[in-house]
Homo-oligomer: A and B are copies of this chain.
Amino acid sequence: MTRPLVFHDDRLFPAEERVRGVARELYGLVKDLPIISPHGHTDPSWFATNNPFKDATDLLLAPDHYLYRMLYSQGISLDALKVPSKAGVPATDPREAWRLLAQNFHLFRGTPSWIWLNHVFSKVFGFEVFLGAETSDLYFDTINDALATDAFRPRALFDRFNIETLATTEGPHQSLKHHHAIRESGWGGNVITAYRPDPVIDFEDERFGAAMERFAAVSGEDVHSWRGYLDAHRVRRAAFADAGATSTDHGHPTAATADLSGADSEALFQSLLKGEVTPAKAELFRAQMLTEMAKMSLEDGLVMQIHPGSHRNHNTGLLASHGRDKGADIPVATEYVNALKPLLSKFGNDPRLSIILFTLDETSYSRELAPLAGHYPVLKLGPSWWFHDSPEGMMRFREQVTETAGFYNTVGFNDDTRAFLSIPARHDVARRVDSSFLARLVAEHRMDMVEAAEVVVDLAYNLPKRAYKLDQPKPASASAHAAQ
| Chain B minimum-CB-distance residue to A371 | B330
Bound-state Cα–Cα, A403 to B386, Å:
11
Contact residues in B for A331 (Cβ distance below 8 Å): 337, 367-368, 371
Bound-state Cα–Cα, A409 to B73, Å:
8
Tell me whether B408 and A367 are in contact (CB under 8 A).
Answer: no
Bound-state Cα–Cα, A388 to B370, Å:
11
Tell me whether A73 and B393 are in contact (CB under 8 A).
Answer: no
Tell me whether B107 and A406 are in contact (CB under 8 A).
Answer: yes
Interface 1/0 per residue, A363-383 and B, CB below 8 Å: 100111011111111010000
| Chain B minimum-CB-distance residue to A452 | B109
**A377 → chain B, closest Cβ, in Å?**
5
Tell me whether B332 and A367 are in contact (CB under 8 A).
Answer: yes
Tell me whether B366 and A404 are in contact (CB under 8 A).
Answer: no
Tell me whether B402 and A445 are in contact (CB under 8 A).
Answer: no
Given contacts A375-B327, A404-B387, contact A447 B110 (CB under 8 A): yes
Interface 1/0 per residue, A115-129 and B, CB below 8 Å: 100000000000000
Contacting chain B: which of A180-188, A233-241, A281-289, A338-346?
A338-346
| Chain B minimum-CB-distance residue to A3 | B450
Tell me whether A8 and B445 are in contact (CB under 8 A).
Answer: yes
Given contacts A15-B440, A362-B367, A375-B72, contact A406 B330 (CB under 8 A): no
Task: Identify the interface centre among A19, A110, A368: most chain B CB within 10 Å of its CB.
Answer: A110
A448 at interface by CB-CB < 8 Å: yes
Tell me whether A11 and B363 are in contact (CB under 8 A).
Answer: no
Tell me whether B10 and A445 are in contact (CB under 8 A).
Answer: yes
Tell me whether A110 and B315 are in contact (CB under 8 A).
Answer: no
Choose among B3, B115, B330, B409 the residue that contacts A446 (Cβ–Cβ < 8 A): B115
A272 at interface by CB-CB < 8 Å: no
Contact residues in B for A7 (Cβ distance below 8 Å): 445
Tell me whether A366 and B337 are in contact (CB under 8 A).
Answer: no
Bound-state Cα–Cα, A455 to B115, Å:
17
A64 at interface by CB-CB < 8 Å: no
Bound-state Cα–Cα, A39 to B50, Å:
57
**19 new A-B contacts at CB < 8 Å, known A70-B374, A114-B447:** A8-B445, A15-B19, A16-B16, A69-B375, A70-B406, A73-B374, A75-B351, A106-B408, A108-B406, A110-B403, A110-B407, A111-B403, A112-B403, A115-B446, A130-B448, A314-B344, A316-B348, A317-B349, A366-B393
Bound-state Cα–Cα, A152 to B315, Å:
52
A14 at interface by CB-CB < 8 Å: yes
Tell me whether B375 and A403 are in contact (CB under 8 A).
Answer: no
Bound-state Cα–Cα, A107 to B450, Å:
14
Bound-state Cα–Cα, A403 to B396, Å:
13
Contact residues in B for A6 (Cβ distance below 8 Å): 445, 448
Tell me whether B108 and A372 are in contact (CB under 8 A).
Answer: no
Bound-state Cα–Cα, A112 to B370, Å:
14
Contact residues in B for A441 (Cβ distance below 8 Å): 110
Tell me whether A18 and B18 are in contact (CB under 8 A).
Answer: no
Bound-state Cα–Cα, A379 to B70, Å:
12
**A434 → chain B, closest Cβ, in Å?**
11
Contact residues in B for A14 (Cβ distance below 8 Å): 444
Tell me whether A337 and B330 are in contact (CB under 8 A).
Answer: yes
Bound-state Cα–Cα, A246 to B199, Å:
47
Bound-state Cα–Cα, A15 to B314, Å:
43
Tell me whether A443 and B403 are in contact (CB under 8 A).
Answer: no
Bound-state Cα–Cα, A178 to B322, Å:
50
Choose among B115, B311, B455 the residue that contacts A109 (Cβ–Cβ < 8 A): B455
Bound-state Cα–Cα, A399 to B455, Å:
26
Contact residues in B for A405 (Cβ distance below 8 Å): 73
Tell me whether B327 and A72 are in contact (CB under 8 A).
Answer: no
Bound-state Cα–Cα, A376 to B316, Å:
11
